[in-house]
Amino acid sequence: MRVGVDYYPEHWSPERWETDARLMKEAGFNVVRLAEFAWADMEPEEGRFDFSWLDKALDVLGRNGVAAILGTPTGAMPAWVKERYPEVMATGKDGKRLEWGVRKNNCFSSGAYRLLSERIVAAMASHFKGNPNVIGWQTDNEFGGPQCFCLSCRDSFHSWLRRKYGSLEALNKAHGLHFWGQKVSAWSQIPLPVDYGAHNPSLCLDWQRFNSDLNVRFQADQLRILRELCPKHFATHNFMGLFSDLNYYDLAKDLDFVSWDNYPVDEGLPGEFPYRASMAADVMRGLKGKNFWIMEQTAGPHGWGTYGRNVRPGELRKIAYQQVSRGADGMIWFRWRSCTAGREQYWHGLLGHDGKALRRYEEAKLTAQELHKLAPLLEGTTVEAKVAFVYDYESIWATQIQPGFKENYAKERALRLYSALRRSGVDADMIPPSADFSKYSAVFAPALYIMPDALAKRLDAYVKAGGVLFFNGRSGVKDESGLCHERTLPGLLSDALGVSIEEYEAFNDSRISYKIRGSAELPGEYASKRYCDWVKPLSAEALASYGEWHLDGYVAATRNRYGKGFGFYLGCEVDGDAFYDALAACVLKAAGVETLKLPEGVEASVRSGAGRRLLFLVNHSEKELQAPVPAGAKALVGGEGLKDGVLGLGRYGAAVLRLA
């Protein structure tokens, strides 16, 4: 188990490094990430490299048992790069180049920037390949900079389209350019979609794909060099959880494992929204279908101008356990010491500006020591979920481009259902549309706006063979080009879901809401918001109907027996959590997935493998709570409050138990 911090030796005088390394060692830290913003320190002038300071820092760290992951430093360019090659600066929608002095502001199609990037990466890799204290690499930092609208990107986009479509005829058809008389007769005529709210949605979707590909290609340039020169080192990247401007599946493909940066503290009130960070972790695990690392874990109040609240006692440890429970095998806090200079002066670390080890350091130290104790048992384990969510970047993009209804945020709609599962102790995988569904008892496919026929057929076959599928409003609407299907909704899934939707509507005025009446299996009265499908049941039975005069004969939620499985459909968005809890319970029951009765605020997860099953119980609340524990379970950490099959968890408490 690697546990440590993001460290910036270049921010401090070398005399301090020994103290830092000693404190790290005392905390049980055995890894740091270094240098991802230190390009100017390593290549102070074009072609002149100086790694001497980093050699020294690595030596000090190494003597204290702290290994290093080096970041390729292309997330922030030195001043000379911009001065010599002004075209490397990204160009905004207004045609103006961005100003230098902020990070993540390069053009990804710039040949000069790609070459400069390859050169610094090659120089670093050649220099550090034999350093026994370097164990791996992080490519760049948080890919996903601003889109660039320069001439080079325009040309590259046109070539990308030409490669994809082969002919203008195919492009005109795929983008539906007969609309508004937009047919093009030369590649150069194709515009860059500067306004997603007005440009052709199919064009916007391809532009989004193209930009994602540019980032992936930029990373691939670096990986080629790292693989060749440093074959023994691992390569990872620090992803951003639910950030979705890039296709993260593509970005993860050639990495050894995924890492991500988790800053959950500012999301709502203390103890609120606890499942967003779980969902993000599951997305991260789903990118490669394997465990991941935390490359930056929140260590204190943070912000670039104003900052948010501090982690409360126990919270830093709890945040770490939530991630380990979802598959984190590395834990790195951001950052070691709060910096006294620059934009991140208030991005607070485990040490204060004064260099003193704070309460937060002590809590990270305790967590590190527990994680080392758990490490041999965690080895070979991961989350083995029976339920999956189809998580699709193309649908997320298409929804942003043309949402259909206000507040239609694809990820939020998934999170609502996902949270219902987490509240009942059910683990879920987040999988790409290309995944094999057959190993799951239930598949949730909410807000899956883009539905290629092949995918619809695979989902249909999954249900027929005994799977349980959940589908909802605005799913399956468009094909992969972003054109609406020429079929009555839900298209090729009509048989599996047993419904037909000819009419639908959205409510621009948030005061409009329809009454929803649950059936005996989904008891209660609820209120819809923002969106409504007028769902006609064909073979499906109603689980909920609308309590509105004009929707007589239409229903809101259905269940359909199809082949050996079931298809569930929800035609509206509903206020509050209760409805989603009840509906998720119906889906899970049909799938035969066991649920747990948990006190509100306690999250339960299981990591299994290598003949072991480890139960994680995490109290997100500031109340002391009692969680039932299966017979024979043995507490490994945090089990002080275990008595008679019940575990008392203090505020932000977390425990790991080995199941019998």
- Cβ contacts of residue 193 below 8 Å, gap of 6+? 199, 200, 203, 204, 207
Min dist. Cβ of residue 141 to ligand GAL (A) = 5
User: Taking each helix axis from N to C terminus, what angle separates 410-423 and 276-288, rounded to the nearest 10 degrees?
Assistant: 100
Residue with tokens 């909920």: 544
Helix (H) or strand (E) holding 648: strand 646-649
Q: How far apart are CA 364 and CA 477, in angstroms?
A: 47
Binding mask 254-283 for ligand GAL (x = CB under 6 A): -------x----------------------
- What distance in Å separates the CA atoms of residue 249 and residue 234, rounded to the nearest whole number? 18
Counting contacts by CB under 6 A, is residue 296 touching ligand GAL? Answer: yes
Structure tokens at 246: 């890039």
Our finding on whether 344 is near ligand GAL (CB under 6 A) is: yes
SS3 letters for 466-492? CCEEEEECCCCCECCCCCECCCCECHH
Does 219 participate in binding ligand GAL (rule CB under 6 A)?
no
Closest CB 73 distance from ligand GAL, rounded Å: 11
Is 427 a binding residue for ligand GAL by CB under 6 A? The answer is no
Catalytic residue from among 43, 296, 344, 394? 296
Least separation in angstroms between CB 310 and ligand GAL: 16
- Check 36, 43, 142, 363 and give the catalytic one: 142
Asked if residues 626 and 650 have their Cβ atoms less than 8 Å apart, the reply is no
Binding mask 590-619 for ligand GAL (x = CB under 6 A): ------------------------------
Please tell me whether residue 32 adopts helix, strand or coil conformation: strand
- The distance of closest approach from Cβ of residue 434 to ligand GAL in the complex, given in angstroms and rounded to an integer, is 29
Query: CA 482 to CA 449: how far, in whole Å?
Result: 9
Is residue 573 a contact point for ligand GAL (CB under 6 A)? no
| Shorter beta-carbon distance to ligand GAL: residue 334 or 568 | 334
Is residue 486 among the annotated active site residues?
no
> For the chain, give me the number of helices (H) and strands (E)?
17, 28
Which residues neighbour 189 within 8 Å (Cβ) at sequence distance 6 or greater? none
CB 6, min distance to ligand GAL, A: 7
Angle at alpha carbon of residue 249, lines to 247 and 255, rounded to 5°: 120
Closer of 238 and 395 to ligand GAL (Cβ): 238
Q: 294 vs 443, which CB is nearer to ligand GAL? A: 294
Asked if omega into 335 is within 30° of 0 (cis), the reply is: yes
Q: Which of 419, 455, 418, 415 is nearest to 434 (CA)?
A: 455
Which is nearer to ligand GAL, 142 or 206 (by Cβ)?
Answer: 142
Structure tokens at 361: 């350091």
**142 belongs to the catalytic site:** yes
Q: For residue 599, how many other CB atoms are within 10 A of its CB?
A: 15
What would the two tokens of residue 2 be? 């690697």
Q: Which is nearer to ligand GAL, 259 or 475 (CB)?
A: 259
- To ligand GAL, the closest distance from the beta carbon of 304 in angstroms equals 6
Residue 142 in the binding site for ligand GAL (CB under 6 A): yes
Q: Which is nearer to ligand GAL, 213 or 261 (CB)?
A: 261
Size of the site for ligand GAL (CB under 6 A): 7
Tell me the closest approach of the beta carbon of residue 102 to ligand GAL, in angstroms.
Answer: 11
Of 109, 141, 325, 382, which lies in the binding site for ligand GAL, with binding defined by CB under 6 A? 141
**Residue 85 interacts with ligand GAL (CB under 6 A)?**
no
Q: How far is the CB of 347 from ligand GAL (least distance, A)?
A: 4
Give the amino acid at 622: E
Nearer residue to ligand GAL within complex by CB, 37 or 51? 37
What is the widest separation between alpha-carbon atoms in the chain? 78
Question: Which residues in this chain contact ligand GAL in the complex, by CB under 6 A?
Answer: 141-142, 238, 261, 296, 344, 347
Q: So which residues are the catalytic ones?
A: 142, 296
